[in-house]
Amino acid sequence: MPDAGTESTARVRALADIRPVVPPTRLLADLVPPRHFADARFATYRANPAYPSQASTVARLEEVGAQLAPGASGRGMRGLFAKRKAVPAIYMDGGFGVGKTHLLTSLAHAVGPDAAYGTFVEYTNLVGALGFQATVDALATKRLVCIDEFELDDPGDTVLMSRLLRELADRGVALAATSNTLPGSLGEGRFAAEDFLREIQAMAARFEVMRVDGEDYRHRAVVTETQPLPADVVAQVAASHPGATLDSLDEVLDHLRHVHPSKYGAMLDDVTLVALTGVHPVSEQSAALRLVVLVDRLYDRDVPVLLAGGQAEGAGAAGAEAAMFTDEMLRGGYRKKYFRALSRLGSLAEDGRALTRTPAA
């Protein structure tokens, strides 16, 4: 690291030094819409008139939200659904950045405290921490369970979640889920929905598929082409920003090996900026997947990121964000996760770059 940042970096703590202790009760308490979507409501979703499916999805979710909202039908709500033979179960399918998470969090906000909200990974982590039956019993107290980023790439976890959803639905809990389709995929949407319905097997007939068409509002292809920042600039900005952390990418990757993914959110409790130096393509699949979870938690909490490339000066023109994963990974079985992480990381990196031009408060 350049001498200019040596003295200032001594005052900056490292993310790799944070070892959170997270009781199971917190995992339950954390099943709420993330900070990034604290203000998300149906009224703030801007449906693109060029894609009518957006407006139709909003209308259907508003209807479900009204059915499930506190006081809508009192204690007779589940009895009402039982007479219809099925509780509401919605699956939103679509590409990256079309607002599915905005809509899912809007639905959770409409239902209020009677809604549980989490990502697929957070629910599987909850089962790991509490046990399956205890998780069912805890979530069965809710009117609605929202699952963002439903993942189909781990057969064991998919079977686990399918069973969890079935037991919750049998207890009268409404369900809503999202997942991603790769941009430019042949039959985008249709195949993703078919994959989802096939993998959840016994639950498939209960889900209503809502297609959300549109383009990535984050414009991932643009933000991931920004140039990496110099390491000394990253160090200096981190040193001047209260609550910042500063590590090399390899230090963070090593640390994530020793922290359960369910604790990544708690690790960021009072972190306001994450600065990484020596950014390079991650070649180990397990390390890359842990990094994806960290990026998701950073995005949930609106934590800006500063990235300094690790290439030799003048080598390559790709941005540091785009260089996080190898080309082989971006073509492999977990590519949906990696593309989602790039989309989110690009957005957070733009927030971080803004701090290099604006003095910290």
> Mapped to the 3 state alphabet, what secondary structure does 50-75 carry?
CCHHHHHHHHHHHHHHHHHCCCCCHH
pLDDT of residue 312: 40
Please report how many Cα atoms fall inside a 13 Å half-sphere around the Cα of residue 347, on the Cβ side. Answer: 21
pLDDT of residue 310: 66
Strand order in the sheet with 273-279: 244-248, 273-279, 305-309
- CB neighbourhood size of 163 (10 A): 17
Of 194, 169, 168, 167, whose CA–CA distance to 179 is shortest? Answer: 194
The single-letter code of the amino acid at 191 is F
Q: For residue 7, which amino acid is it?
A: E
Residue 345 CA from chain centroid, whole number: 11
155 in Cβ contact with 291 (< 8 Å): no
Under 8 Å between Cβ of 81 and 206: no
Kindly write down the DSSP assignment for every residue of 245-314, as one continuous string: EEEEHHHHHHHHTTS-GGGHHHHTTT--EEEEEEE--B--HHHHHHHHHHHHHHHHTT--EEEEE-SPTT
Per-residue HEC secondary structure of 23-53 comes to: CHHHHHHCCCCCHHHCCCCHHHCCCCCCCHH
- DSSP-derived letter for residue 200 is T
Q: Given the DSSP bridges, would you call strands 115-119 and 89-94 parallel, antiparallel or unpaired? A: unpaired
What is the rounded CA–CA span in Å between residue 321 and residue 308? 9
What pLDDT was estimated at residue 309?
A: 81
Residue type, 49: P
Q: Which domains does the chain have, with CATH numbers?
A: 3-23+219-355 (no CATH), 49-211 (3.40.50.300)
Which residues are bridge partners to 13 per DSSP?
A: 245
Query: What is the token pair recorded at 58?
Result: 């909003």
pLDDT number for residue 5: 44
Helix (H, G, I), strand (E, B) or coil at 336: helix
317 burial class (0-12, 13-18, 19+ CB within 10 angstroms)? exposed
Given this model, what pLDDT does residue 169 score? 94
Question: Considering only CA atoms, which of 321, 337, 320 is closest in space to residue 329?
Answer: 337
User: What is the rounded CA–CA span in Å between residue 195 and residue 198?
Assistant: 5
Give Cβ neighbours of residue 306 (< 8 Å, ≥ 6 apart).
Answer: 229, 234, 237, 238, 273, 274, 275, 276, 349, 352, 353, 355, 356
Q: Supply the pLDDT for residue 269.
A: 95
Q: Give the C-alpha separation, 158 to 162, whole Å.
A: 6
Q: Cα–Cα distance between 37 and 12 in angstroms, integer?
A: 29
Divide the 361 residues of the chain into consecutive groups of 10 and give the mean pLDDT of each group.
45 94 89 94 95 96 94 53 66 86 97 96 88 96 94 80 93 92 57 77 85 73 59 95 97 96 93 96 94 94 91 43 82 85 89 78 45
pLDDT at 336: 82
